[in-house]
Amino acid sequence: MITAKRRPPRADATRGQKKEQQIQKVSTGISGLDLVLGGGVPAGRVTIISGGAGSGKTLTGLQCLLRGAEVGQAGILVMFEERAAAVRQDAWSRGLDLTRLERKNKLYLMEARLDPAGIVSGEFSIAGLLAVLDQRIKAMNAKLVVVDAVDALLHLYDNPMRERRELYALHEWLLDRRLTTIMTFKATPGEDVPGRYAFLDFMADCVIHVDQRVTAQITTRRLRVIKYRGSGYGRNEYPFIINEDGINLIPITSNVLQHRAPGPRVSSGAAWLDDVLGGGYKRGTSILIAGTAGAGKTTMACVFAQAACLRGERVLYLNFEESAESMASNMLSPGLALQPLVKAGTLGIRSYLPEAMGVEEHLFYSLRDLDELEPEHVVVDAISACKRMGSDQAAFEYLMRVLNVCKERGITCIYINQTAGLDVAAEISGIGVSSLVDTIVLLRHLLNGRSMERQLTVIKARGSKHSEQFHTFSITDRGLDRVKS
């Protein structure tokens, strides 16, 4: 038996930084992808991006070119399939003006479509393409080349040996000129790269696969770095989204919990509730309010939100169950005037339909809302609705990542969870987040004679001396009132 010393598994992009100093990198213009690649694609080398139709290969290349053009590095997009006019139009619909960069001589769209009616007779080489490309590169002093749909070129040869020979020749040619190159390659979903083209992955210095798959009717795009010579990289599959800004990727890059310590106390909005909690909530911690339908969860969160906003603190309310208008109107009944707070800009209510998009997209919009409003407190109403983002696992991923971001930024995070049965205690946890939260408040209805009574108890409050009793309360037109028994 060979007993080799096992190296600890490389966790994520942050490792292997020593090596990265030896190899120069070029930003892809996609901040999340740069994080995964530890800075970008290798400078002066060839990177291959393979994936199925509509998986975002060309867009990745284009974003890299645009980023280069922004910092003054000229680039060329060689297209074997698409027309320049179509690429310009697609970019325009994303708010990108390619023509401006073309006029500045920072970007060149080179159509390299072969006459489909052309007849092949005997051997040939791509000297024509290289001559044209060379002329352009010299004229623009280009540093970056994106070769889109290199498979279209290969199909021309109809002979595996010659395909390979020509592509290796192209590879050498690009390396000789120290061009940073991205080649995109169409791969059928399911099988990564057909065996015939497997040599591409061996040839290139950096290989990235992208795909999109459907689970529970919701499509998720994923990206994985297969290899990166001479550099560390994030080894997981990273979900990403394509929206009006282009490709957005939010990797979980930190492998350590960098949560801030809980801050000072902050009032729950009701004095008696603060007593029950042992002095209120703690700033920057996470609180789970669980309970049956109509038990007063949303009211409790809104009482807190209103009190915070009136103190001048900003609150982001992520609502997955009702619209901002309907929530503000419903909260008038317990005497909460949210609309003025929204107008004042201290309260931001964002309503999203959980099933409208996948976890990544929800996460993207939630993080964007967080960045825009920079709130001190966040309410998520309700985590039970988040399951509709696809699955329990999807909901957990979303909630866990929002929670992590909040904790890193010292934002108080209130999660609302609706439990189905009256025996609330058995199902408070809500998709396993109960172990992640610092405080759990349980609300329930109890039959008392001929009427239902609202009761509240604190099940857990890290670092607090809280009451362990059930407290009876009612919702009046002044918010939450304690009912003395």
Partner 1 sequence: MRKARKGETHVFRLFVAGNESNSLQARENLARLCEEHIKGRYTIDTIDVLKDASSAYKNHVLVTPTLILVKPIPAVTVFGNLNDTRQILAALRLKCPR
Q: List interacting residues with partner 1 (CB under 8 A).
A: 110-115, 117-129, 131-132, 134-135, 156
To which H or E segment does residue 62 belong?
helix 57-70
What is the nearest approach in angstroms of partner 1 to the Cβ of residue 72?
Answer: 25
Residue 131 or 422: which CB sits closer to partner 1? 131
- What is the Cα–Cα distance from 177 to 170, expressed in whole angstroms? 11
Angle CA(239)–CA(244)–CA(245) in degrees, nearest 5? Answer: 70
Residue carrying structure tokens 């999807």: 394
Q: How far is the CB of 200 from partner 1 (least distance, A)?
A: 19
Least separation in angstroms between residue 161's CB and partner 1 is 16
Smaller CB separation from partner 1, 177 or 482: 177
**Residue 170 Cβ, how far from partner 1 at the closest point, in Å?**
12
Mention every residue, 6+ apart, whose C-beta is less than 8 A from residue 408.
258, 259, 260
Closest CA to 402 of 381, 427, 429: 381
* Nearest to 23, CA basis, from 208, 168, 180: 180
Instruction: Output 104 or 113, the one with its CB closest to partner 1.
Output: 113
Backbone angles phi, psi at 428, to 5 degrees: -70, -30
Fill in the DSSP letter of residue 104.
Answer: T
Cα torsion 235, 431, 418, 356: sign? positive
* Residues in the chain, total: 485
Please say which residue, 153 or 301, places its beta carbon nearer to partner 1: 153
Is it true that the peptide bond before 382 is cis, omega within 30 degrees of 0?
yes
Q: State the minimum distance, in angstroms, from the CB of residue 74 to partner 1.
A: 17
Instruction: State the nearest-atom distance from the C-beta of 47 to partner 1, in Å.
Output: 22
List, in sequence order, every residue forming a beta bridge with 432; answer none if it has no partner.
Answer: none
Taking residue 114's Cβ as centre, other Cβ atoms within 10 Å add up to 13
| Residue nearer to partner 1 on the CB measure, 9 or 122 | 122
Min separation Cβ 169 and partner 1, Å: 12
Of the pair 114, 452, the CB lying nearest partner 1 is at 114
Instruction: Pick the closer one to partner 1 by CB: 166 or 376.
Output: 166
Q: Contact 239/211 with Cβ under 8 angstroms?
A: no
Smaller CB separation from partner 1, 92 or 124: 124
d(CA 313, CA 205): 50
Token reading at 95: 């708010």
Q: How far is the CB of 121 from partner 1 (least distance, A)?
A: 4
